[in-house]
Amino acid sequence: MDDDRLTGAGRPIRSGRDGISDSYRPAIRATTFILLLSPPLASCSGVQSALDPAGHEARDVANLFFVMLIGGVAIWAGVVGLLFHAARKRKPYSEKGAGWVILWGGAVFPTATLAALLSYAVWLMPNIRPWFGEDAGVGRVEVTGEQFWWRVRYLDEGGAVAFETANEVRVPIGEPVVFLLNSPDVIHSFWIPVLGGKMDMIPGRENRLTLQAEKPGTYRGVCAEFCGTSHALMAFTVHAMEPEAYKAWVAARRKASGGQDQEGLALFLRHGCAACHAISGTEAKGTIGPDLTAFGERGSVGAGALPNGQEHIARFIRDPGQVKPEARMPHFSMLEEAEIDRIAAYLKGLR
C-alpha cells in the first residue's frame, strides 16, 4: 500500500472557497468547540458552584480540577500541534522520527503526566476528608433526608439534640463541622457544592461528612441522588457565619418562641397544623413535618421550592402538591382564604 495514503504526505493541499486548507478544518472545528465552552466555564461561579469554593474541601477539589484542566488543555494543544505539523509535511516521516514521537509522546509523556497527577491526588486525599472521632469537640449536626425536605438537628456536646430546624444549615467559618447523615426510607445525597463533595444518606446507616467553611456567605445545598418526584425541589440554604454571629444565632435559636402573635398561633393550632409541625415555646410539638420555629428567617418555602414570602407560604398551605408533587403535607384548600393568609402571616413573622 502507498504509505502516502496513510500519512497524507505528498497529497496536494486542497482549499475551499474561503481559501482555508481542508486539512486545517478539523483543528479549526475543535478550537471553535473549546472557545464555545469557555463562557460557560467562566460563569461557573455562584452559590451552588464547586468551582467557586467557600470551604476547605471544595477548594482542594477545585484546585485538582484546574490542574487537570490545564494538563488536559496542554495535551490537546500538543496533539493539535502535531496534527498541523503532519498535515503540512509533504514528505513522510522518517522511521527514526516516528519512533521518537511514539517513545516520547506515547510512553514517556503519558507515564510522567499520569504519575504526577496520581501523586498529587494521593497527597490531596488525607487533607480532603480529615477524620474527627466521636469526642473531638467539634460541632455536630444531624441531617435527615425526608420526603423532599431536610430535618436538621443541632447536637450539644453530650450528643443530645439541642434544637431542631429544617431546610437550613448554619455553620461557623474556620471550624470543622461533622454532619451525621441518615434517611428513614429512600437514599438521598447531601451536597453543598461550595463546601465540599457529596455524601449519600442511606436508611439504617449513619454516614459522616466533615466540612469546613472558610468564607462567610449564603450558599445553596441540594439533594444529589434521585429520590422521587420532587427530587429536584429538595434544596436547602447554607449560612456560613463568623463564629461570634454563629454563637449569637445558636443562643437566640435556643430561646426562640412562637408565642408573640397569639391570634395567629391560635389559628395554627385550631386547624391541626401542630399534629405535624413543632414551634418552640408553644403547644405545637408535631414531629412528622419540618420544625417551624423561627420560620420567618428561612430562605425558602418548601425546601427551596419558593422564596420565603407570605403569598408563597399561603400558596403552599392551600395546596402543597401543586408546588411540590408528592409532598406528604395534605392540602388545606378547604380553609377560608383569610385564615390561610393569617396563618401565613403568622409563620412569616416567626423569629
Positive or negative, the CA dihedral 44, 50, 54, 57 is negative
**Is 9 or 224 the residue whose CB approaches ligand CUA more closely?**
224
Q: Return the amino acid letter for 332.
A: F
**Is 311 or 326 the residue whose CB approaches ligand CUA more closely?**
326
Minimum distance from residue 286 beta carbon to ligand CUA (Å)? 21
Contact of 198 with 207, CB cutoff 8 Å: no
The end-to-end CA distance of the chain, in Å, is: 83
Residue 240 in contact with ligand CUA, rule: CB under 6 A: no
Minimum distance from residue 219 beta carbon to ligand CUA (Å)? 18
The grid coordinates listed for 31 are: 478550537
Strand partners, 163: 154
Minimum distance from residue 188 beta carbon to ligand CUA (Å)? 3
Residue 227 in contact with ligand CUA, rule: CB under 6 A: yes
Q: Return the amino acid letter for 131.
A: W
Contact of 190 with 145, CB cutoff 8 Å: yes
Q: Is 346 exposed, middle or buried (0-12, 13-18, 19+ CB in 10 A)?
A: buried
Residue 231 in contact with ligand CUA, rule: CB under 6 A: yes
Piece of 65-73, 74-82, 205-213, 225-233 that binds ligand CUA (CB under 6 A): 225-233
Piece of 9-17, 94-102, 163-171, 220-228 that binds ligand CUA (CB under 6 A): 220-228
- In the DSSP assignment, the letter for residue 197 is -
Question: Binding marks (x or -) toward ligand CUA, 188..207, rule CB under 6 A?
Answer: x-------------------
Distance, CA of 214 to CA of 109 (rounded, Å) = 37
**Is 184 or 281 the residue whose CB approaches ligand CUA more closely?**
184
**Is 209 or 265 the residue whose CB approaches ligand CUA more closely?**
209
- Binding positions for ligand CUA, rule: CB under 6 A: 145, 188, 223, 225-227, 231, 234
